[in-house]
Amino acid sequence: MPLSPAAQNLVDAAAARFPQSMSGTPLAELRSVLGRIAVPPTTPIYQSRDVIVSTSRADIPVRIYRPSAERRLPVVQWMHSGGFTMGGLNQNEEYLRKLSIAANVVVVSVDYRLAPENPYPAALDDCRDVWCWIKASPIELGETTGVRTALAGESAGGTLVFTLGQQLRDLGLPMPDAQVSFYGGAEMRISNPEHSTNMLTLADCQWFWDQYVSTEDERSSPYVNPALARDVGGLPSALIVTAEIDPTRDATEEYARRMMRAGVRVELVRYDGMMHGFATLTGTLEPARELFGRTIDFLQSSLHPTDLGLDVLIRGRKDV
């Protein structure tokens, strides 16, 4: 089916404000435009705090969202979108405030280093280092020893959810209890290029990957290309979301099905009539609002399992 009328209106509006071809536009201009269209947050939250996580590799800025004064809450590590080349802490700030409050979790948003100045594995290293910092129970987060945790991200951030989960498992590091990936690319190969919009074209996908990785060894690594992993078992339960009009859709859905066959509990959901980038647009798209509710349900059941009662709302869903 084509884009829904509401989604088409958004795509048309984006075309008027954003370059038609990201792959043919100077990166500095793309970053500038993305910074200008970031929407300032309006939802009050108990605490929003910027912290620097210092490591031997880099000083990594993070933004911590805390919904209340409670010191012992589950933690969700969020990785932003932007094709590994743009984006940062001001992206999706309103969405993350609402997520923190509705799910009753601390959200840690990671400002990982960007390509091409810092190509692979910089972003993955930063996300892993922040994860290890979270698990070390830093004073900035309160008491995190033994609390439940999750990885979550959108687009490139959703890919980092997949690759970081695999790497944590392979290295024997503490694992999250859950993972949420909104249309994260599971494979560099684009299997359905006909499902492109100016929000994400086939040329854009190829250009983003070229900025992020350069060698054939890197391109064949499952920590870049998660679908290339021989073993996708032993990973945390997952909510994996795809959009119908998205060139990354088919490969990501196949990756999710492989996880299911390997025994991982996966909720795979495709949103018909939606495009890449829709998930956090809750102010204008009803499917994004429905997905927000589904995400809260998933995080509640994964991170607050003893809090659930018979009055939990089970929202209708269209599973793939």
The answer to whether 244 and 1 are in contact (CB under 8 A) is: yes
Which residues have a Cβ under 8 Å from the Cβ of 216 and sit 6 or more positions away?
none
DSSP state of 319: B
Please indicate whether residue 276 is annotated as part of the active site. Answer: yes
Which residues have a Cβ under 8 Å from the Cβ of 273 and sit 6 or more positions away?
1, 2, 3, 4, 7, 244, 245, 287
The answer to whether 190 and 202 are in contact (CB under 8 A) is: yes
Name the catalytic one among 155, 181, 196, 302: 155
Q: Which class for 286: exposed (0-12), middle (13-18), buried (19 or more C-beta within 10 A)?
A: exposed
Would strands 47-54 and 59-66 be described as parallel, antiparallel, or unpaired? antiparallel
Name residue 89's amino acid.
L
Name the catalytic one among 111, 125, 129, 246: 246
Taken in order 219, 222, 227, 228, the sign of the CA dihedral is: positive
The alpha carbon torsion through 264, 148, 90, 181 (nearest 10 deg) reads: 10
Name the catalytic one among 4, 221, 237, 276: 276
C-alpha–C-alpha distance, residues 294 and 298, integer Å: 6
Please indicate whether residue 54 is annotated as part of the active site. Answer: no
Please indicate whether residue 80 is annotated as part of the active site. Answer: no
C-alpha–C-alpha distance, residues 169 and 69, integer Å: 32
Catalytically annotated residues:
155, 246, 276
